[in-house]
Structure 1
């Protein structure tokens, strides 16, 4: 199949995708309509244009991820001075919320990366983007209702799992207090993807920059202040205030920007068509949860090795989380860019943009790898003064260097797959790579006859993520982007039909 001509009007488009989008959304669409698709434009020229756009989008997105990462870091610093039990309880509470709430919610919301980015440029009725947002909000709300009983009665569950009774009590109270902020946090993740699909890449960064000083102040006043502070639970309350601030800030931004035009009001049809949404959302959730769970399982496995290996493991995981913020931002940028181009029926440019994203992911990962090699001997001293911990970190960091390159490529290739709506393929690659190969190999190297200690865990996870990144990248580079355009148009046509179905049959359903 030959690539569609850029000037050709698809069935859902008024004149051309770019013209339709620019006509209705003006500056919000500028990022995605800046360059014309001409057969005479060389591949190198398009590559330079796409590289410039992706880098420009990645910077604010990476900063936003870094800001979100800093919120939990501030909490740990604040609680670390209260006592070992409080710090352990907060860490256990965070792990519980990450695995039961955050990871599944991010996975469910990630389906919006596919639905919204293509709908914005392909659909003649831009409120289809808002229709998809409704389905994302419904999916995370349903998920919270499912896990809510576990979160409300967490203490007896932890005690039954032989956790320390005092830590179980503190952890349970921390989780219950933070539940008030769970809904706005999940809605923030959904709305963030809604506006990013329309080119508003800096919005979440502005909101998080505004919330950060409030979060810092609350962690002092609510935890340590002799007048209004109430210690351990003050950190949970600070999180709740921060999450509500994030959500409200993004809603206010939408109300004041042209992003509000894509919101068409609530419709019962969004609820009726949830099975179609879950067809992408569940594989997305598997992708996210398999990645996050691997980290938590590594931490649990390392905890049986003693305090020094566990401390070294914690330092290296924290380092990986820090360096991953750039590939994470790049992943979102390439998802929306390639998805928007598919919606504009620009197969050639979408393919080049995806390839440039993968190349930038390799560059980002290589820089992180170089840092791990250069800083291996002294990086542990940034976190600890224990010479044994520093020495253990120095052993792990060279292995972590190889991991950095594979992890960055894995993240960006996952973004390309989301733009193509190929989450199922990614899930089939990721899950067995981590849990049938990487993690079992790590356990064998650590606790089996090799007896390699925490180094074995890192070799195992490095093998797993390398296999996953190779598999996902092969899917990306062998995809037929002209066929993907046809599939994208068919999907948007279907979504337009089901979104409009209730309006024609039940005009009072939408508000």
Structure 2
């Protein structure tokens, strides 16, 4: 194994039979429970803070859609459809790509020998994601004819193209902020990005209203207003790092960011596939619900929106799990890392049970928040129990995928997700929903089965890891 303090270091997780952690301490020592409990409290705090941050990021789009929707139903459709495209393309590249910083950067921070390597990882991320964003930006700017070919109504297709063209320059701000946020989080600086998002979320509503309604810019004005908040968030994060904290991990741009760039790009791509497998599958299933008619489509929107909001905590817990386990692996505390992985699974089970009970008990009240239509409410109430059924498994999948990322097994998590959604869920959706005529229930039964498979598979894989043999592999 080649070891170097070179900032071009990257974990080679493509060879999963290779030990990944170079021991730096007594990894065989027994775990101190006070230390484990203290670390778990830190994990819980980080999960809550990160979840709050993702919720605030989501709120920027939600508020934008609500304000634009007051103009006309057509503008509402354009905004909602355009943000869906943004979520599954550029935002996915940004968030999926930062999983590389989560795992590799946190491990470097745990080692504590040369944390400037975190800055080099950030540079690698900017280079890699900038290249990936070029085709995405091209798609955004010329998506109208493509959407028409996919049978999207002409007005919606070209309205979305105009919206995405307006949003495109601001997407870079989203990518930069997401990277700087992870740059801070892997140094255990979790709160400042969330505070920044609180400020921009407060500003977003009045600025969106001004551009959309007072100045009369319509949907395009909403895109510019919300996009401006992305750049403002990025600028404030940069200023925080420059003037206050986090700059100790940055030594300026270096040629070393080009070392191992191809392998780092693979880590980024695997992270995108790992997260994108789920996001794309849910969008495909939503299209299937739309084919069932107006009422199933409306009920699907109700359930999907609720599930997306509830999934933010497992997602945040997964990110926090990656950061903490990678840090502990970097410190050489394999036993403590194993204990935290188990505690994270316990947290996922507890939070999943609470969410499941809330959905089962308040399913009608939740549906009534979205609509007054009795038919839509009744169908949503009928299907909500199937959404409740996989909340525990969804949590297990999120935190154990985070643990797998932390120890360099991103391709294991990505493979399981691809199989769960594209080998099991989507074919089963077609069978149950359209052939067995279970309708919308068939879609969510399929999701429940596939997520249960994914969650349990990743849980047992993490539980069976030989933590003493795991190592962080450094290379030039």
| TM-score, normalisation: structure 1 | 0.86
Greater displacement, 175-184 / 414-423: 414-423
What pairs with 1:86-235 in structure 2 (closer than 5 Å)?
86-122=75-111, 124-225=113-214, 228-235=215-222
Aligned counterpart, 1:501: none
Q: 1:405 aligns with which of 373, 382, 392?
A: 392
Q: What is the Cα deviation at residue 237 of structure 1?
A: 0.6
Structure 1 residues 211-261: Cα deviation after superposition (integer angstroms, max 9, x where no partner)? 111111111111111xx3422211101121111011111111111233101
Unmatched segments (≥5 aa) in structure 2: 6-25
What pairs with 1:35-434 in structure 2 (closer than 5 Å)?
39=29, 42=32, 44-122=33-111, 124-225=113-214, 228-434=215-421
Q: What is the Cα deviation at residue 91 of structure 1?
A: 1.9
Q: 1:482 aligns with which of 458, 468, 474?
A: 468
Distance change >3 Å, CA 352–CA 163, structure 1 → 2: same
Q: Distance in 1 between matches of 2:338 and 2:181?
A: 25
Contact 2:352-2:395 at 8 Å conserved across structures: yes
SS in 2 for 1:106: helix
Distance change >3 Å, CA 357–CA 40, structure 1 → 2: closer
Structure 1 residues 171-215: Cα deviation after superposition (integer angstroms, max 9, x where no partner)? 100000000111110111111111101010112101101111111
Aligned counterpart, 1:29: none
Q: What is the Cα deviation at residue 45 of structure 1?
A: 3.2
SS in 2 for 1:264: coil
Aligned residues between the structures: 455
Higher relative contact order (CA 8 A, sep 6+): 2
Contact 2:119-2:251 at 8 Å conserved across structures: yes
Q: What is the Cα deviation at residue 37 of structure 1?
A: 9.4
Q: What is the Cα deviation at residue 390 of structure 1?
A: 0.5
Structure 1 residues 124-183: Cα deviation after superposition (integer angstroms, max 9, x where no partner)? 221101000111111111111122222211112122222211111211000000001111
Q: Distance in 1 between matches of 2:84 and 2:41?
A: 37
Q: Distance in 1 between matches of 2:254 and 2:30?
A: 45
Pairwise CA RMSD: 1.9
Q: What is the Cα deviation at residue 278 of structure 1?
A: 2.0
Q: Distance in 2 between matches of 1:313 and 1:466?
A: 20
What pairs with 1:445-484 in structure 2 (closer than 5 Å)?
445-448=432-435, 450-484=436-470
Structure 1 residues 66-108: Cα deviation after superposition (integer angstroms, max 9, x where no partner)? 1111111111211222222111112221122222211123212
Contact 1:400-1:458 at 8 Å conserved across structures: yes
Q: Distance in 1 between matches of 2:40 and 2:112?
A: 26
Q: What is the Cα deviation at residue 293 of structure 1?
A: 0.2
Q: Distance in 2 between matches of 1:115 and 1:51?
A: 20
Structure 1 residues 376-406: Cα deviation after superposition (integer angstroms, max 9, x where no partner)? 2332111100000110110111111112111
User: Which structure has the bigger radius of gyration?
Assistant: 1
Contact 1:109-1:140 at 8 Å conserved across structures: no
Contact 1:338-1:419 at 8 Å conserved across structures: yes
Contact 1:192-1:250 at 8 Å conserved across structures: yes
Q: What is the Cα deviation at residue 428 of structure 1?
A: 1.3
| TM-score, normalisation: structure 2 | 0.92
Distance change >3 Å, CA 392–CA 158, structure 1 → 2: same
Contact 1:439-1:464 at 8 Å conserved across structures: no
Q: What is the Cα deviation at residue 11 of structure 1?
A: 8.9
Q: Distance in 2 between matches of 1:441 and 1:159?
A: 28
Distance change >3 Å, CA 168–CA 11, structure 1 → 2: closer
Greater displacement, 314-323 / 122-131: 122-131
Aligned counterpart, 1:438: 425
Q: Distance in 1 between matches of 2:37 and 2:199?
A: 33
Following superposition, which runs of at least 4 residues in structure 1 exceed 3 angstroms of deviation?
Answer: 36-42, 44-47
SS in 2 for 1:224: helix
Distance change >3 Å, CA 11–CA 100, structure 1 → 2: closer
Structure 1 residues 303-347: Cα deviation after superposition (integer angstroms, max 9, x where no partner)? 011111111111111111111122122112111111111100111
Q: Distance in 2 between matches of 1:57 and 1:96?
A: 29
Q: What is the Cα deviation at residue 272 of structure 1?
A: 4.4
Q: Distance in 2 between matches of 1:197 and 1:128?
A: 12
Aligned counterpart, 1:18: none
Aligned counterpart, 2:14: none
SS in 2 for 1:223: helix
